Amino acid sequence: MGCILKGGGGLYSRLAVGAVLLAAGSGSRMGQRPKSLLELGGVPLIRRQLIALSGAGMDEVVVVLGHYAERIEEAVKSFRSHWCATPTPMRGKSLRCA
């Protein structure tokens, strides 16, 4: 796809843009509740983040899971995104997984 300013052609091609969404935390300061599954208006925060990233034009989103991976994966499975899970969740590993 070409640049909008060039009417779809010209010198500038559109880059593919991606995002990494970190959702691997243990929620230790939240009473062992995953922050990404906290709800605002009945919608989990991670779903709100994925909607916002989609609206911002992200072509690809990778969700990094760790603690509570199964529960969070259930909340995001309807989105077209990829996810990776840290095999043994611990501080700093989620960035390496991403």
For residue 98, pLDDT beyond 70: no
Tokens of 61: 């989103």
Q: Residue 16: which pLDDT band, with cuts at 50, 70 and 90? A: confident
CA distance 74 to 63: 12
3-state secondary structure 40-82: ECCEEHHHHHHHHHHHCCCCEEEEEEECEHHHHHHHHCCCCCE
pLDDT for res 52: 92
Domain 17-97 bears CATH identifier 3.90.550.10: yes
Range with the largest mean pLDDT of 21-25, 50-54, 88-92: 50-54
Q: What is the pLDDT of residues 34-49, one digit of tens each?
A: 889 999 999 999 999 9
More confident residue, 88 or 55: 55
pLDDT for res 42: 94
- Give 3-state DSSP helix, strand, coil % of the chain, rounded to 5: 35, 25, 40
pLDDT for res 50: 92
For residue 3, pLDDT beyond 60: no
